Structure 1
Amino acid sequence: MLEENTKPDNNIKQNETPSEQSDFLHSMEGNQLMSWTSKVLNQPRREIILGPIIILGLATIICLGITWKMWGQIGKNLDIWFGMCLIVFSMLGGLLLITRQKTIFNYRATTTGIAVEHSLYYPNFAGPLFKGSAVLVIILFIGIAIYTGSLIFLIGPVAMSLGAARYLIGWKNEIKYEKSKPWNEYNFVTIDRPSSVIVIHRTDKTVGFETRFENKKNLEQYLQLLKELLPKTATFTEDTWPY
């Protein structure tokens, strides 16, 4: 992407229609040619596969660490051990849901270029829910430490879970804004039909302005638009976009 600004906002209108889009999108000069909204998973294929494996593996390692710390007391405190492991998997599972959340994109293409605003797709209650759950987890861990009379539960693997809780407390959904360069500066186009992605490049084919689609009709309409607006020498390539 070429130009980006971020603005924290926990009350994003997740189902905006093109007519309700922000002033940023309408700041794109030129006459509007096309606008659309897409709600898609904005992650490389490798991250989609590895993400759950890494997070669930980390939760398992933390629980093994808790088991090692409590090894001589598990028989008497089985309920505490089970509760702590349940909390760990719940917290990291929550982080997994955040990282696997779909992104909503609002695009506006004009005669001079294209602009997009995008943010993760969450209901309005997501922020308070995440923060409330994180506070509850911190209170539970402190309570367990007081109950057992040992602060050992607040260090080591448990500290990693507390770190995840602190992240959720400070969580904010960001709206990101991007604008393209003028159409005549782009010389290459990558079309990834299986992923419903089109990327326009200036000189370096590993970076560019990405556009994502929920349906093939919008993809084909945008592709036809590019053929009319980009220089006649622009190269169109059907290929996988790995980023």
Structure 2
Amino acid sequence: MFAKTFIFSSMLLAAATTLTSASYSISYPGSGVVWKKGDKVQVKWSASGQVEKLIDIRLVHGNAENLLFNFNLCTNVNPWDGQCDYVVGSDIPSGIDYAVTAGKEPQNYGYSSYFTIQANGPLPENKGCPNMGGKLCPKTLPCCSSSGFCGDSVAHCGTGCVPKFSFNGQCVIPGSQSTVITPVAKVGTKTSPVVITSSKSKKCGTKVCTKSLPCCSASKKCGKSCGKGCKPELSFAGKCARS
């Protein structure tokens, strides 16, 4: 089953949504979770907005910007069920860079954090940002924070940032010309562990959209209107969804 591998680019997240602020938020599995062969596990998520009629729960792995599809854990599930049961197979290659997606169409996917599966073979050494599946931080989320997550905020790129796991070996906020050295409080470095995102802190008109006004409208104004015309690439966390 692993021979049939398909590539999902992070550009899928920048596609315009076909539903009105459809959103799937996966609460399990997540960072620190280890699945072992034979384990009976339960993927958990919440849905909001005008969701799809049926969704698939997929296992994926690899770089956050270029995830590879393994197989469906559950198929054609009612999105409001919020859970799906699966028994971990013995043929899954052991790895530290697995994640789960929820949704039917790629532009509506919700993503889990990276987690570990220990089934077939030894686990690889983690040589990257600790909670990012052994990967170095990508250009879109360049800084490895003290708590082991990649991001582009001052909390990620400031005090405690780990240069050797960060993009180009530097703790630099996108758009900044120099390494961040000003001491800052460790605020929220672990509050946003979902790793699949294309947020680049781009301006929506004259402002950068925030958690309270997350969506960039067709007229390039930040607000809570996350439906038709919303620009995910300019919205908070790279998606058209209310927080």
TM-score scaled by length of structure 2? 0.23
Larger helix percent: 1
TM-score scaled by length of structure 1? 0.23
Q: Which protein has the larger Cα radius of gyration, Structure 1 or Structure 2?
A: 1
